[in-house]
């Protein structure tokens, strides 16, 4: 009854969403890797990748975060994390940011890519209703 009152007070052209029809798999797909069990690698691989990122960032916490993201993405993509590290060491420092973003984007949903500036095409009817 309350939703009918709200609908009458605030008319809208949007249709209702049937929350009972939302499947668990849809939620998992939306959150992409949120529900996945973390991967494990040997401590040697972990230490090597952390050490590499520590030399680049001069920050232990940042290095651990980058290393865990690279390891996770490499394992999920079926790549050897040490081979990924070797590719990183071959790159000039100026290209490292773009390459790291590309690797990390392998496991991300298209609407949340890292390091990508996306300017979606705006519908002309919406554009004319937006004030400059």
23, 29 in Cβ contact below 8 A?
no
pLDDT at residue 76, as a whole number? 84
Structure tokens given for 63: 């290095």
User: What span, in angstroms and rounded, lies between the C-alpha atoms of 119 and 55?
Assistant: 35
Q: Is the pLDDT of residue 82 over 90?
A: yes
Residues 6+ apart with CB under 8 A from 117: none
Q: Is residue 104 part of a domain?
A: yes
Q: Is residue 52 part of a domain?
A: yes
Please return the burial class of 73, using the count of CB atoms within 10 Å of its CB with bins 0-12, 13-18 and 19+: buried
Q: Is residue 15 part of a domain?
A: no
Q: Is residue 102 part of a domain?
A: yes
The model's pLDDT over 34-67, given as tens digits with 9 standing for 90+, comes to 556 567 888 999 999 999 999 998 899 999 999 9
Q: Is residue 61 part of a domain?
A: yes
How many structural domains comprise the chain? 1
Range of the domain at 98: 43-110
Q: Is residue 30 part of a domain?
A: no
Q: Is residue 73 part of a domain?
A: yes
Q: Identify the band that residue 17 occupies on the pLDDT scale cut at 50, 70 and 90.
A: low
Q: Which of 77, 76, 85 is nearest to 51 (CA)?
A: 85
Work out the average pLDDT over 105-119: 71
Q: Identify the band that residue 6 occupies on the pLDDT scale cut at 50, 70 and 90.
A: very low
3 state SS of 116: coil
* Average pLDDT score over the chain: 76
Alpha-carbon Rg for the chain, nearest whole angstrom, is 22
């Amino acid at each position: 009854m309350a939703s009918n009152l709200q609908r009458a007070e605030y008319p809208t052209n949007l249709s209702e969403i049937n929350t009972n029809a939302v499947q668990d798999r849809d939620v998992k797909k939306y959150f992409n890797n949120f529900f996945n069990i973390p991967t494990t690698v040997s401590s040697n691989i972990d230490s090597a990748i952390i050490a590499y990122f520590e030399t680049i960032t001069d920050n232990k916490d940042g290095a651990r975060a980058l290393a865990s993201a690279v390891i996770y993405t490499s394992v999920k993509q079926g790549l050897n994390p040490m081979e990924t590290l070797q590719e990183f060491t071959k790159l000039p420092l100026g290209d490292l940011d773009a390459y790291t973003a590309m690797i990390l984007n392998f496991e991300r949903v298209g609407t949340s890519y890292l390091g990508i500036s996306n300017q979606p095409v705006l519908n002309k009817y919406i554009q004319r209703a937006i004030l400059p």
